[in-house]
Amino acid sequence: MPSCPRCDAPVDDEARYCAQCGAPQTEDAAEELDEYVQRQAEQVSGGGGGGGSDGGGSDGSDAFPSKEDLTDREQLWRRGSYVLGYGTVVVALTRVPAAESWPLILGGIAILPPIRRLTAEPLGSPLKREVMAGIYAVFALIGIALFVLLP
DSSP class of residue 62 equals: S
Confidence of residue 2 (pLDDT cuts 50, 70, 90): confident
Mean pLDDT value across residues 4-16: 88
The amino acid at 59: D
H-helix or E-strand spanning residue 37: helix 27-45
Q: Quick one: 91 exposed, middle or buried, by C-beta within 10 A (0-12, 13-18, 19+)?
A: middle
The predicted pLDDT at position 64 comes to 54
Mean pLDDT value across residues 33-43: 84
Global pTM reads 0.49
71 contacts 48 by C-beta, under 8 angstroms: no
How far apart, in whole angstroms, are the C-alpha atoms of residue 142 and residue 136? 10
> Is the pLDDT assigned to residue 54 strictly greater than 50?
no
The predicted pLDDT at position 47 comes to 55
Confidence of residue 52 (pLDDT cuts 50, 70, 90): very low
Q: How do residues 84-109 score in pLDDT, each as one tens digit?
A: 888 888 888 888 888 788 888 888 88
pLDDT mean across residues, the chain: 79
Residue extents of the structural domains in the chain: 1-45, 67-149
Dihedrals φ, ψ of 149, to 5°? Answer: -80, -35
| DSSP H helix total and E strand total for the chain | 5, 0
The amino acid at 66: S
Query: What is the radius of gyration, based on Cα positions, of the chain?
Result: 23
